[in-house]
Structure 1
Amino acid sequence: MSTANYGDIIEVTSPADFHVHLRDGELSKLVTPHVHKGGFYLAYVMPNLVPPITTTEMAIEYKKRLKDYSGSSKVEFLMTLYLSDALHPSDVKNWKNAGIVGVKSYPRGVTTNSDEGIESYDKYDELFKAMEVHGIVLNLHGEIPSDHSKNICVLNAEERFLPVLANLASKYPKLRIVLEHATTAAAVNAVKACGDNVACTITAHHLALTVDDWAGQSFHFCKPVAKFPDDRRALHEAIKSGNKKFFLGSDSAPHPSLSKSTATATSGCAAGVYTSPILLPLVAHLLDSFGAIDRLADFTSNFGRAFYQIPAHSGAPKVLVEKVQGVSVQAEYSSGGKAVVPFWASKQIEWQIVNVKE
């Protein structure tokens, strides 16, 4: 592996973000165009709105709104449903025709808008079997709720979840499963130990952050939280290795600036890091920093598309990024009375999008 020199240019065919939050209402109008701004042509959209997306009709209407907001007819939105009792095995056969590709599982209460999340997977046996038959992906927020009586908190909640992943992967060997936004060496090893039906997304911000970066810094606070330096190193090594199980899912999660910057005696700041408007240059910068820049196209397009069986079509857009002396990240984005602060606001990124061949 090697790092790039200033002026080096890398081409990525139709970059794909396999985990993004685009919210709803005025905030969605602000952030949805940033998928394209950040260099991406596929957005795998999370369903944790209020109320959550639990029906085909809700997903179709949400997709229509996103397309209206996106600012580019070339961006493809893939929809997910929120795992709940509202999902019926008999409906699964119709999901793909409606643009629904996956079902997202949120353990109850562990992250943003997860109050209606699950407490047990046992009741979904028939649903998962139907998903196996019809090629629907199961996306897992891989944490269990904190329980201080059992010494479980945000720092080990992911590792405590991993036996659940192993059990699901074994019980449903034809069900494609994605462990979302891995943050630990243990998670990397657990995904490697599973069969080919299991893959894993890694975010840009978890390639940069450790616990020191979010403790006391609200704009770096997300769920799952960034962990220890050796965990971050394991994420780097997973990408450098070229293992096809690991690919980008940004978990870009916008919140109004006030929600991120303030906390009260009874509630903390909002959990989420916002990377969409700078995503491809940011990923290039980070991969370059640990000698994996030659994995950029695989990590941001090829491997994820292969796992989801959504290859880039003939004539798909090609995005060119170039290593430069440094470009400042915009401090804030605002519109319609909403404002969001991106990751690394006002910092320098040494890569930028220089051309798009559409």
Structure 2
Amino acid sequence: MTDTITLSRPVADFHVHVRDGDMMKLVVPTIKSGGVSLAYIMPNLVPPLTSVDDVLAYKSRLEAVDPTITYLMTLYLCPAITPQVIHNAAKAGITGVKCYPAGVTTNSEYGVASYAPYYPTFAAMEQEDMVLNLHGECPSGQHIHVLNAEQEFLPTLKDIHGRFPRLRIVLEHCTSAAAIQAVKDCGPTVAATITAHHLFLTIDNWAGNSFNYCKPVAKFPTDRQALLEAATSGCPKFFFGSDSAPHPITNKEKGQNAAAGVFTQSHAAAYVAEAFDQLGKLDKLDRFLCDFGRQFYKVTPAQDEPSWTVVLKKQQNVVPRLLGQGPSAVAPFKAGETLNWKVEIVDAV
């Protein structure tokens, strides 16, 4: 029985929220403690990151908190992101552009209502080999609700892929069997991230429990099974993106108006190891956490040279009830519960 796993290299997390200001200072140190050395940073700050200078300034603030992490940066898709901005961003080393449908999740009010106006931007991204990250949901309306919003978005994914076949696209945080199949149906330039929390949750876990509420919401047991099968399949189209989303505990306790987001950063690799172990698929863990995402994003050794090793040990690991103190404290996923795996960071001598 495997009780110690040394990863080939630290985890690459291709969907990370760390906010800004005091929340950033609280959360960024947990990136490494979760086993992650490379973090793909989301741009939905307040206000969102819509210029190259804003993104680079934010990266500098992150590096001031922990300079040992590799931060890959993104722009927030909005009318300000013109083809010229894309060309400038590529020169500056910005990796991708995040597309939020307007109003679907946290800080998405500046997002996209129609995709056609952005075709020139997508063409420039294709030319520069930048990545388009899609929050794959349609806004709720007469026939659309949280349980079918992802499925209703999938024709949009396929349409963009058909128009721009060389554009690398990531369908973020898949939650449904339909999304998994759609990614499989697309060509090799389309991939998907799968979170840690969606490997555990179904609708019953968040209905009435705001701490498990996120967007897109967890769905049915058959959908969770499809996510587990994709994550442990060894298919390079599916890799880790935690979508770890810290919110002050006061914003998670608001009942009907609770903030959408689950915080997993501090125990990222341990959560995933737990899920893989339950299926007897620990042999698939390393490539899902460490390899497939780096390959799709074309991360070079020069960009990503972690100075430590991640060892996962099978031992009891109690998740703290809170990170931080007071009303701004953050509740981790499975707070107070005991995991069977623990991350150990071994620094280079």
TM above 0.5, one fold? yes
- What CA distance in whole angstroms lies between the structure 2 residues aligned with 1:87 and 1:315? 31
Residue 8 of structure 2: SS of its match in structure 1?
Answer: strand
Residue 13 of structure 2: SS of its match in structure 1?
Answer: strand
Alignment of 1:171-190 (within 5 A): 171-190=163-182
The Cα of 1:125 is off from its aligned counterpart by 1.1
| Runs of 4+ displaced beyond 4 Å | 312-315
1:52 equivalent to 2:51? Answer no
Percent of pairs with identical residues? 50
Q: Which of the numbers 130, 133, 138 marks the counterpart of 1:139?
A: 133
TM-score of the two chains, using structure 1 as the length reference:
0.93
Deviations 1:47-101 (A, max 9, x none): 011110000010011111111122xx22011110110000110122221342310
- What CA distance in whole angstroms lies between the structure 2 residues aligned with 1:75 and 1:281? 19
Give the superposed CA RMSD. 1.6
Q: Which residue of 2 aligns with 1:352?
A: 342
Residue 92 of structure 1: SS of its match in structure 2?
Answer: helix
The question of whether the paired residues in 2 share the 8 Å contact of 1:54 and 1:83 is answered with yes
Alignment of 1:299-314 (within 5 A): 299-313=288-302
Pick closer, same or farther for the CA change 1:302–1:218 going to 2, 3 Å. Answer: same
Pick closer, same or farther for the CA change 1:337–1:225 going to 2, 3 Å. Answer: closer
- What CA distance in whole angstroms lies between the structure 1 residues aligned with 2:148 and 2:6? 37
- What CA distance in whole angstroms lies between the structure 2 residues aligned with 1:141 and 1:61? 24
Q: Which of the numbers 272, 280, 300 marks the counterpart of 1:291?
A: 280
The Cα of 1:238 is off from its aligned counterpart by 0.7
The question of whether the paired residues in 1 share the 8 Å contact of 2:33 and 2:345 is answered with no
- What CA distance in whole angstroms lies between the structure 2 residues aligned with 1:69 and 1:44? 16
The question of whether the paired residues in 1 share the 8 Å contact of 2:250 and 2:327 is answered with no
The question of whether the paired residues in 1 share the 8 Å contact of 2:150 and 2:216 is answered with yes
1:192 equivalent to 2:181? Answer no
Residue 95 of structure 2: SS of its match in structure 1?
Answer: strand
Residue 43 of structure 1: SS of its match in structure 2?
Answer: strand
TM-score of the two chains, using structure 2 as the length reference:
0.96
Please tell me the residue identity of whatever aligns with 1:200: A
1:201 equivalent to 2:184? Answer no
Deviations 1:207-246 (A, max 9, x none): 0000000000110000000000010000111122211000
Please tell me the residue identity of whatever aligns with 2:316: G
Q: Which residue of 2 aligns with 1:28?
A: 24
Gaps of 5+ in 1: none
- What CA distance in whole angstroms lies between the structure 2 residues aligned with 1:322 and 1:126? 45
The Cα of 1:312 is off from its aligned counterpart by 4.2
- What CA distance in whole angstroms lies between the structure 2 residues aligned with 1:300 and 1:65? 26
The question of whether the paired residues in 2 share the 8 Å contact of 1:214 and 1:220 is answered with yes
Count of residue correspondences = 347
- What CA distance in whole angstroms lies between the structure 1 residues aligned with 2:278 and 2:301? 27
